[in-house]
Amino acid sequence: MLNGSGIKVFSGTSHPELAEIIARRIGLPLSKAEITKSGIGETNVRIAESVREDDVYIINTGCGAVNTALMELCIMIHACKIASAKRITAVIPLFPYARQDKKDKSRAPITAKLVANMIQKAGCDHVITMDLHASQIQGFFDVPLYAEPSAILYIRTHFNVDEVVIVSPDAGGAKRATSIADRLGVDFALFHKERKKANEVSRMVLVGNVKDKIAILVDDMADTCGTLCLAASHLTEAGATKVFGFVTHGILSGNALQTINDSSLEKLIVTNTLPQNGNQAKCKKLEVIDIGKVLGEVIRRSHYGESVSKLFHEVPY
């Protein structure tokens, strides 16, 4: 818990519930900022209290109207910068445009890099985010953060670890899944998948043994959930006794909730990096775990100059 001296925590409009949880964790009220829109849709921000020589944290995530949330964040950073804040940290649980992380075709932009540049040019000194979609994006930031400790604690407290196998739904998530498997001391499997086009998988091949095991699919985000639910079906056919999904960012677009309900998944566990109250009401298989306490602890450690990386080797607070 912080004593409130020299620190201010602000929230944008994208996920105020998470901002409140984080503020409660560190024992401070959210600082006052007025965010409005003009008649033509421009975002107006007024920081309603002094931030001179303060350590400022601005919480906004990449959900809902993503472009609006991003502009809010940049404008709030800029407003605090020219108001003489000592240090400004952007807390972005879900980093916007993280899937546009490479030049995969001619004349394609690397939008994740553009967004990082925008945030830095606005005057941001540090960025705290969770489970970036691609590992190379880590190079854009000073303080990357993963939800891995939350996944590990959940698995240890809800399952008999001896019966568990960790599964990556694609080769890209193999590093994340193997790290969790190694920390738990369990086996690991992965799927090789071929796509005809984005968000549409044509073929999946399982590499590894899941027979008579509880298979836990882990990934950074679940969007349409087509890949996740198809993988769950293959795992059941391969002899898994039960299949669970654990993802950090539950985007859950389109018919994702119905796809989950109709799938062989026992449960899909997501964190609250995005608002999930409405989704939970529509999907009986969806479970949400709170990462606000972890983010609050990162803010506390960052403010006092303590190690953030130690959180990767500890259970969440």
237: containing domain: 150-193+203-289
Residues 161 and 284 in one domain: yes
pLDDT the model gives residue 176: 86
Given phi > 0 = left and psi -120 to 50 = alpha, else beta, which region is 249? beta
Residues 103 and 75 in one domain: yes
Cβ-in-10-Å burial (0-12, 13-18, 19+) of 187 comes to: middle
pLDDT the model gives residue 210: 96
Tally of CB atoms within 10 A around 262? 11
pLDDT the model gives residue 138: 60
* CA angle at 232 for the pair 227 and 233, rounded to the nearest 5°: 100
Residues 106 and 175 in one domain: no
The one-letter code for the residue type at 273 is T
Residues 217 and 127 in one domain: no
pLDDT the model gives residue 112: 87
In a domain, 124, yes or no: yes
In a domain, 175, yes or no: yes
In a domain, 122, yes or no: yes
- For the chain, list residues with pLDDT below 50: 143, 315-317
Residues 236 and 219 in one domain: yes
* 164-186 pLDDT per residue, tens: 999 999 888 888 899 899 989 99
Residues 174 and 217 in one domain: yes
Query: How many angstroms separate the CA atoms of 12 and 72, rounded?
Result: 7
In a domain, 19, yes or no: yes
Residues 183 and 231 in one domain: yes
Query: How many angstroms separate the CA atoms of 213 and 166, rounded?
Result: 10
Structure tokens at 307: 């190690």
pLDDT the model gives residue 317: 39
CA nearest 14: which of 131, 93, 116, 97?
93
pLDDT the model gives residue 314: 55
Structure tokens at 194: 């071929």
pLDDT the model gives residue 129: 85
pLDDT the model gives residue 143: 46
pLDDT the model gives residue 315: 47
